Amino acid sequence: MPSYNEDEQLLANTLAAARNMDYPPEKLTVWLLDDGGTVQKRKASNVADARAAEARHEKLKRLCVEMGVNYLTRERNEHAKAGNLNNGLAHSTGDLIAVFDADHAPTRDFLLETVHYFESDPKLFLVQTPHFFLNPDPVERNLQTFEKMPSENEMFYGIIQRGLDKWNAAFFCGSAAVLNRKALEVSNGFSGVSITEDCETALDLHGLGWNSIYVDRPLIAGLQPATFASFIGQRSRWAQGMMQILRFRFPPLKRGLSLAQRLCYMSSTLFWLFPFPRTIFLFAPLFYIFFDLEIFTSSGGEFLVYSLTYMAVNMMMQNYLYGSFRWPWISELYEYVQTVHLLPAVISVMLNPRKPTFKVTAKDESVSVSRLSEVSRPFFVIFFILIVAFAMSVYKLYNEPFKADVTLVVAGWNMLNIIIAGCALGVVSERGERQASRRVKISRRCEFGIDGKWYTATINNVSVHGAQLEVYTEGATGIAKDTIGHIRFQPFSDLPVSELPVEIRNFDRTGDVTSVGCRYVPQKALDHRLIADLMFANSAQWTQFQTARRNNPGLFRGTLWFLWLSVYQTSRGLGYLMRDLGKSRSAEKG
C-alpha cells in the first residue's frame, strides 16, 4: 500500500481492511510503503518539514507494529509512486502483488475473487478490478446526483474496461489489482517514464506477451477528491501522463502488441485530446456571431436533414448501448468542465513532454462551507460571453433576415453551449457538507453496552468515523451525549467477538427504541479491524449500490431532466457569484 501524505486514521482503516482479507495468514503479508517519511524528507533543510516527516515516520511505524503489518520507507523520493512500488517489490517476497491506494480499502473477498485466475494462466500478469467510491466526485456532490445517477467512472469500469478485456488490453489502474511478480521482474518493475505508471506498466507487459484479466465486480471502496480544484488536478495528471505515453511509447509502433491491442491503447491515449474538439465546439459559433466568419456552408433545411438527423441518431444509439451507465448530456458536461483547465495542461505536455511531475491527489479533504471554487472564474467569463453572443444572434436575426436560416442554426448551437456552461456554474459552486464522511446503509444485529448493561440493537448505517444504531433500551436511562458505550457484533472476518468503544454524539428516544448516533473511539489495532469489518468487509453492498443507480431515463426524459438541472444550477451558480461579490464589497468598505 503506497502512501505519501495521507492521514493516520485513513491509513489505519485501509490497513485493517487489508488484514481482514480472507486468505491463509501465512501466505499474506501487508506492507505500508511510506514515501512521506523518507530519509530525504526527515533531513529536509526546512526544520518544520523535517520534524513533521520524522513524527509521521515514528507514528506510522508504531501503527504498523500494532496492526501486524510491515512498514517500509526509502532513502529518497525518486520516481514518485513507481519508485515507491519498486522499493516495495525489492523488499517483499510474495509471488503475487496486490496494490491498494491509501484510501482504497479492500473487501474481505478481494483475494478470493482475483487470485485463482493466476492458476489457469501462467502468462497472466494482471487481474484488475473496478474502483468503487464511497463519496461523490465534486460534480456529483455539487449537482446532488450521487444517489440516483451512475458515476462518471462507471462508464470506464462498466463498459470500456470490459471491452478492452475482450481484446486482452485491460490495463492496470494503479490500485485494486493483483500483479504477477515474475512479470514485473521481466519488465524491471513498475515503469516510471510517464506520470501514469499504471497504464505504462501494462503497455510494456502486454508488449512482452503477458496477459491481463478484468473482473467487473467492485471489491474495494475508495475516496474521490472532495473539491473541484483537486478533481481538476487529478484529471490533469491523467491527461498529461497519457500524452507522455503517446509521445514516448506510441502504442501503434509498440513491439509485441496485437493489432487490437495497438488500437485499444491508442484509443485510451487519444481520448485525452478531447479538450481540442470541445474547445472548437464551444467557440466556433462565436466566430460567426461576432466576426461573420463562415464556419460551415449549409442552409437551415440542409442542417435539419443531415446534421440534426445525424446527431439525433447518434444520441439514440448511445442511449441504447450504454444509457444505464451514462445519462444524456452528462458526457458533454464532464468534458466541458475539464476542458477549461485541461487544454493548457495538454498543450504544456505536448510542448515539453518531460515537464510534468507526479502530484498526489488529496483524498481526505472536506468542504465545510458553501463557496465558489478557487478555479471557477473562467467558467463565469465563458458563460457571460455566450450570453452576449446569444443577444448578438437575436440582433442579427432582426437586422440580417437574409441570413436567418444560418443564424438560427448557429444561435441554436450557441444555446446548447449556454445550457452546458450554465450547468457548469453549479459544478464550480461548492456545497458545504455537514458530515465529514459518507454513510453507508447496512442492517446488522449487534449489542450496545452502556453502564455495564447490554441491549439488543441494529446498526442502520456506518461511516469510517461512526455509526447509527437503533437500540431497544426498554426503559434504560444511561444513554447520554458524550458518554462512552460499546458495540458488540459478530465480525465477517476471523476476528473474535469484541467490544468496539464509541462516544455517543446524539440520541432520540421513541418508546422503547432509542436511535443513537455515535463516533468510534479506537484504542487498539483490533478496534480498527472491527471498524473495517463493519464498513468494508461485504462486497455485495457495493454491487447493490451500483446496480440501484443503473437505470436508464431514456433520451427524451433524460434531456428534459438535464434542461431542468441546467436552469437550476445556473441560478445557483449566479447566486453564489452575487453573494461573493457582495462579501467583497463589504470587505472593501470595512
30-41, pLDDT tens digit by residue? 999 999 999 999
- Asked if pLDDT for residue 187 goes beyond 80, the answer is yes
User: What percent of the chain stands above pLDDT 90?
Assistant: 83
**pLDDT for 31:** 98
Rounded mean pLDDT of 278-292?
95
- The torsion of the CA quartet 437, 441, 443, 446, rounded to 10 degrees, works out to 10
Provide the pLDDT for residue 135.
Answer: 92
| pLDDT tens track for 228-278 | 999 999 999 999 999 999 999 999 999 999 999 999 999 999 999 999 999
- Give helix 8-19 / helix 47-67 axis angle, nearest 10°: 30
C-alpha 531/C-alpha 107 separation (Å) is: 12
Indicate left, alpha or beta for 554 from its phi (over 0: left) and psi (-120 to 50: alpha): left
Which of 34, 35, 204, 527 is labelled catalytic?
Answer: 35
Residues contacting residue 291 through CB under 8 Å, at least 6 positions apart: none
- pLDDT confidence tier of residue 294, bands split at 50, 70 and 90: confident
pLDDT at 425 over 70: yes
- Considering only residues 308 and 19, tell me which one the structure prediction assigns the higher pLDDT: 19
Q: How far is CA 441 from CA 462, 506, 513, 554, 579, in A?
A: 7, 18, 19, 28, 36
pLDDT score recorded for residue 356: 82
**Are residues 459 and 520 in contact, defined by beta-carbon separation less than 8 angstroms?**
no
DSSP 436: S
* Residue 64, pLDDT above cutoff 70: yes
With 90 as the cut, is the pLDDT of residue 324 above it?
yes
**C-alpha cell belonging to residue 518:** 455515535
pTM of the model: 0.94
Active-site option among 34, 137, 165, 198? 198
Domains of the chain, CATH where assigned: 2-227 (3.90.550.10), 275-426+553-587 (no CATH), 440-539 (2.40.10.220)
Residue 13 and residue 525 in contact, taking contact as beta carbons nearer than 8 Å? no
**Would you place residue 211 in the very low, low, confident or very high pLDDT band (cuts 50, 70, 90)?**
very high
What are the tens digits of pLDDT across the range 476-514? Answer: 667 888 899 999 999 988 888 889 999 999 999 888 899
Residue 137: active-site member: no
314-320 long-range Cβ contacts below 8 angstroms, 24+ apart: 315/555, 316/555, 319/552, 319/554, 319/555, 319/558
Coil, strand, or helix at residue 450?
strand
pLDDT at residue number 366 = 77
Q: Is 564 exposed, middle or buried (0-12, 13-18, 19+ CB in 10 A)?
A: exposed
User: Which secondary-structure segment (H or E) carries 460?
Assistant: strand 453-462
- State residue 359's pLDDT score: 78
- More confident site: 553 or 474: 553
What does the DSSP 8-state code read for residue 497? -
Annotated active-site residue 580? The verdict is no
The per-residue pLDDT for 439 is: 86
Cα 568 to Cα 376, 412, 554, 564, distances in angstroms: 18, 20, 21, 6
pLDDT at 511: 82
Least confident of 62-71, 145-154, 344-353, 578-587: 578-587
* Average pLDDT value for residue range 286-294: 92
> Residue 102 pLDDT more than 70?
yes
Q: State what percent of residues in the chain have pLDDT above 70.
A: 98
